[in-house]
Structure 1
Amino acid sequence: MFRLKRRDRATQGPAAGSVPAFPALTLDGVRRVYGRGQAARTALDGVSLTVPRGRFLAVMGRSGSGKSTLLKCAAGLDRPTAGTVRIGGTALAGLGERELTRLRRDRIGFVFQSLNLVPSLTVRENAALPLLLAGVPEDGRADAALAAVGMADRADDSPAELSGGQRQRVAVARALITRPDVVFADEPTAALDPETAETVLALLRRAADDSGRAVVLVTHDPAAAAWADEVLFLDRGGVAGVLARPDAELIRRTLRVLGTADTPTAVAR
Structure 2
Amino acid sequence: MKRQWRGRTTATAEQTGTRHHALTLDGVTREYRSGVVALHPIHLTVPRGRFLAVMGPSGCGKSTLLQCAAGLDRPTAGTVRIGGTQLSSLNEAALTRLRRERIGFVFQAHHLVPSLSVAENVALPLMLGGESPGDRHLRALAAVGLGDRGGAVPSELSGGQCQRVAIARALVTTPDIVFADEPTGALDPAAAEEVLTLLRQAVDRDGHTVVMVTHDPFAAAWADEALYLMRGKLVWRQERPEAADIRRVLKELGGRTA
Q: TM-score, normalised by structure 2?
A: 0.95
Please name the residue that 1:227 is paired with.
222
CA distance in 1, matches of 2:147, 2:12: 27
Please name the residue that 1:75 is paired with.
70
For each residue in 1:236-255, what CA deviation from the matched residue of structure 2 results, as whole angstroms up to 9, or x when unmatched?
10101101110101000011
Please name the residue that 1:142 is paired with.
137
What amino acid is the match of 1:120? S
Q: 1:22 offset after TM fit, Å?
A: 2.8
Please name the residue that 1:117 is paired with.
112
For each residue in 1:159-208, what CA deviation from the matched residue of structure 2 results, as whole angstroms up to 9, or x when unmatched?
01000000000000000000001000000101101111000001111111
Q: For residues 20 and 203 of structure 1, do their structure 2 counterparts lie closer, same or farther at Cα, with a shift above 3 Å needed?
A: farther
Q: 1:16 offset after TM fit, Å?
A: 6.7
Q: 1:9 offset after TM fit, Å?
A: 2.5
CA distance in 1, matches of 2:165, 2:4: 20
Q: 1:133 aligns with which of 128, 133, 142?
A: 128
Q: 1:21 offset after TM fit, Å?
A: 3.3
The gaps in structure 2 that reach 5 residues or longer are none
CA distance in 2, matches of 1:32, 1:87: 18
Q: 1:33 aligns with which of 31, 34, 37?
A: 31
Q: 1:23 aligns with which of 18, 21, 24?
A: 21
Q: For residues 20 and 28 of structure 1, do their structure 2 counterparts lie closer, same or farther at Cα, with a shift above 3 Å needed?
A: closer
The answer on whether the counterparts of 1:32 and 1:82 sit within 8 Å (CA) in structure 2 is yes
CA distance in 1, matches of 2:32, 2:124: 33
Indicate yes or no: 2:92 matched with 1:97. yes
Please name the residue that 1:218 is paired with.
213
Please name the residue that 1:207 is paired with.
202
CA distance in 1, matches of 2:78, 2:117: 41
CA distance in 2, matches of 1:256, 1:149: 35
Indicate yes or no: 2:43 matched with 1:45. no
CA distance in 2, matches of 1:181, 1:9: 21
Q: 1:210 offset after TM fit, Å?
A: 1.3
Please name the residue that 1:255 is paired with.
250
Q: 1:12 offset after TM fit, Å?
A: 4.2
What amino acid is the match of 2:107? F
The answer on whether the counterparts of 1:85 and 1:92 sit within 8 Å (CA) in structure 2 is yes
Q: 1:233 offset after TM fit, Å?
A: 0.4
The answer on whether the counterparts of 1:149 and 1:173 sit within 8 Å (CA) in structure 2 is yes
Q: 1:53 offset after TM fit, Å?
A: 0.6
The answer on whether the counterparts of 1:240 and 1:258 sit within 8 Å (CA) in structure 2 is no
Q: The residue matched to 2:205 in structure 1 has which SS?
A: helix
Give the fraction of aligned pairs with identical amino acids, expressed as a percent: 62
Please name the residue that 2:151 is paired with.
156
The answer on whether the counterparts of 2:10 and 2:205 sit within 8 Å (CA) in structure 1 is no
Q: The residue matched to 2:204 in structure 1 has which SS?
A: helix
Q: TM-score, normalised by structure 1?
A: 0.92
Q: 1:15 offset after TM fit, Å?
A: 10
Q: 1:256 offset after TM fit, Å?
A: 1.4
Q: Give 1:188-199 correspondences, 5 Å limit.
A: 188-199=183-194
Q: For residues 234 and 16 of structure 1, do their structure 2 counterparts lie closer, same or farther at Cα, with a shift above 3 Å needed?
A: closer
Please name the residue that 1:167 is paired with.
162
Matched pairs, number: 256
The gaps in structure 1 that reach 5 residues or longer are none
Q: The residue matched to 2:165 in structure 1 has which SS?
A: helix
CA distance in 2, matches of 1:48, 1:142: 36
- Spell out structure 1 runs of 4+ moving beyond 3 A: 14-17
The answer on whether the counterparts of 1:14 and 1:212 sit within 8 Å (CA) in structure 2 is no
Q: For residues 126 and 235 of structure 1, do their structure 2 counterparts lie closer, same or farther at Cα, with a shift above 3 Å needed?
A: same
Query: Considering only aligned residues, what root-mean-square deviation do their CA atoms show, in Å?
Result: 1.7
The answer on whether the counterparts of 2:52 and 2:224 sit within 8 Å (CA) in structure 1 is yes
